[in-house]
Structure 1
Amino acid sequence: MTPEEIAVKIEGHEHEIKSLKHRMDTQEEESKSIQQLVVSVERIALSTEHIMQEQEQQSKRLEKIEGRDGEKWRKAMSYIGTAILGAVLAIVFSRIGI
C-alpha cells in the first residue's frame, strides 16, 4: 500500500468516526429527552392518582350530605303527617264525644 492510499483510508476512517460521534451526540440528546419525558409521565401519574383519591373522598362526603338532607326531609314529613293524623283523630274523638 502506498502512503497516498493509507492517507485516503485514514481520512475515510476519520470522516466515519466524525459521523459516528455526531450520531452518538444526537442519540444522547434523544435519550435525555426520553428520560425527561419518563419523569414527567411519572409525575402526571402520581398527580392523577392523588386527584382520584381526593375525588373519591369528596364523593363520599357528598353522599353523606345528600343523605342528611333527605333524612331531614323525611323527618319533617313524618312530623307533619303525625300532626295531621293527630288533628284528624282529635276531630273524630271530639265528634264522638271522647
Structure 2
Amino acid sequence: MTDEEIVVVLEGYKHEIASLKQRMDSVGKIVDAVHTLALEMARQTEEIKHMNSSIRQLTDDVTELKAKPGRQWEMLIGALIGAVVSAAASMLF
C-alpha cells in the first residue's frame, strides 16, 4: 500500500469513528432518559403505595361513620323498649 492509500483508508476510519461517536452520544442520551424515567417510576410507585394506604384508611373511616347511625338507632330502640317494659312493669306492680 502506498502512503496515499493509507491516508485514504485512515480518513475512512476517521469518518466511521466520528459517526460511531455521534451514535454513542445519542445512545448515552437515551440511556440517561431511560434512567431518569426509571427513577421517576420508582418515586411514583412509592406515591401510589402511600395513596393506597390513605385510601384504605379513608374507606375504613367511612365504613365506621356509616355504621354509627345504625348503632345509634339500635341504642334508641333498645332504650324505648326498655322504657316501655319498665313502664309496663311499674303499672303491674
Return the TM-score normalized by structure 1.
0.80
Letter in 2 for 1:18: A
Q: Deviations over 1:24-44 (max 9, x none)?
A: 000100000001100110011
Query: CA offset at residue 78 of structure 1?
Result: 2.4
Give the equivalent residue in structure 2 for 1:62.
62
Q: Deviations over 1:42-87 (max 9, x none)?
A: 0110000000111111112222222222100111222334455666
SS of residue in 2 equivalent to 1:20: helix
Give the equivalent residue in structure 2 for 1:26.
26
Give unmatched runs, 5+ long, in structure 2.
none
Q: Distance in 2 between matches of 1:73 and 1:55?
A: 28
Query: Does residue 77 of structure 1 match 2:69?
Result: no
Letter in 1 for 2:45: A
Instruction: Give the fraction of aligned pairs with identical amino acids, expressed as a percent.
Output: 28
Cα RMSD (Å) = 2.0
Give the equivalent residue in structure 2 for 1:53.
53
Larger radius of gyration: 1
Give unmatched runs, 5+ long, in structure 1.
none
| Deviation beyond 4 Å, 4+ runs, structure 1 | 82-87
Return the TM-score normalized by structure 2.
0.84
Q: Distance in 2 between matches of 1:73 and 1:12?
A: 91
Q: Distance in 2 between matches of 1:69 and 1:10?
A: 88
Letter in 2 for 1:51: M
- In the TM superposition, 1:3-22 aligns within 5 A as 3-22=3-22
